Structure 1
């Protein structure tokens, strides 16, 4: 698939994109109530979660049969640690909608053996039939999930060493102290992302512009992990004007 074939959509604002994304997720759930949904964390999806919670409260989306898989978790943090991604999801989404607890899937960052935990997670995802719809963000260095730039990418879930840039980006979860951010995380591999049946990648702000341009216009390379989405047949890249500033002719 050519890079230019990625479906790029530029929105007037982040809030407009978030509302459209939430509406798309709700429509997908109405079409398939047992949807398997891949969920990100960080700042980018916050407004999407707010919109989905609002839709649920208005009775416009029912999550009772939806299955979720989050993309990653910090290594060494228990699920109830307030800085964990599991706690983030509880605060911003899970406790506000009617997801069945047994249908929520998450890495256990406190697992004694990271490799065994990754095997467990991949098996649970395979048993669920893979991701029907995957929401993604992108880091300023081009990472997706916690697939960091490097010489190669791993296909399966794995322990990932976090880059300085990624640790700085999540420092707000740790009292704005980057030294408190774990050095590693557990993350889905590229195979799970590429095999998702539909992908919506969201990017907002000028600090994401270079990564978005590299993903869409650049070569497929592990130096920009998101560029591997060029190999996917059903990816939509939703950006605001600042994040899309390097994409002349975006639609």
Structure 2
């Protein structure tokens, strides 16, 4: 795990987009694991600009989203399929057939979850997994006590998560679905590389616990400590509770692989 701290949200999002663009350019077929949320909107906007202005080519990419609300049809503006179409897919040259989001309207959710895992495996696994972190420390919708080896499945959402996501539902937590289909922690950890982005003071406490605290199922993001190729990109305010700040900065300034990004 490596932690990279940038001055503000825009610089953090810009660096994340550069990392993603680099991977797209390096691989003839890249399987992306994608996330949603306000943090990701900045990154997707930059990637769209890279496509339109610099010719960043998504035509051979595949994508799998982390999660989807149960009970929301794809055409609902608050579904994650609609989110991805609006913020990314409809603005780049990705083949829509190659984009995958769990079906929250499936009659058999367990069968849908198993099929989602099979689709990922059929393409050889996820090359680069993009993540945010929830205020409960969740990645995907792996709420507290999610098994660290869990697979894609249906999951109940905590009141805190529903409150955090209420802005998209007119500010009313009661309108946020109570359950979602989500990749499991084990599914996420199988990605070849992982990029987690965290912005803002509200993430500072839980981020420090996930990075520097013990590995625990109460904070699913702490499982990323087990991954051999995981980058955590944060802004100054999200990094404010980290005790290893000086070392993290030293690594970014001295590792040869980051010379192009400094």
TM-score by length of 1: 0.95
State the partner residue of 2:257.
Answer: none
Per-residue deviation, residues 122-149 of structure 1 (Å, max 9, x unmatched): 0000101111001100011100000001
Among 56, 73, 79, the residue aligned to 1:78 = 73
Per-residue deviation, residues 52-71 of structure 1 (Å, max 9, x unmatched): 00000013310000000000
State the partner residue of 1:8.
Answer: 3
1:24 & 1:213 partners in 2: Cα distance?
23
Contact 2:149 2:187 in 1 (8 A): no
Contact 1:156 1:192 in 2 (8 A): yes
Matches within 5 A, 1:172-187: 172-187=167-182
Per-residue deviation, residues 198-240 of structure 1 (Å, max 9, x unmatched): 1110001111011110111111000111000111001111111
Contact 2:80 2:101 in 1 (8 A): no
1:129 & 1:173 partners in 2: Cα distance?
34
TM-score by length of 2: 0.91
Unaligned runs of 5+ in 2: 250-262
Aligned length: 246
Unaligned runs of 5+ in 1: 1-5
Contact 2:62 2:98 in 1 (8 A): yes
Give 1:82 shift.
1.1
Matches within 5 A, 1:113-152: 113-150=108-145, 152=147
RMSD: 1.1
CA spacing shift, 1:124–1:56, aligned 2, 3 Å: same
Contact 1:70 1:105 in 2 (8 A): yes
Greater share of residues in helix:
2
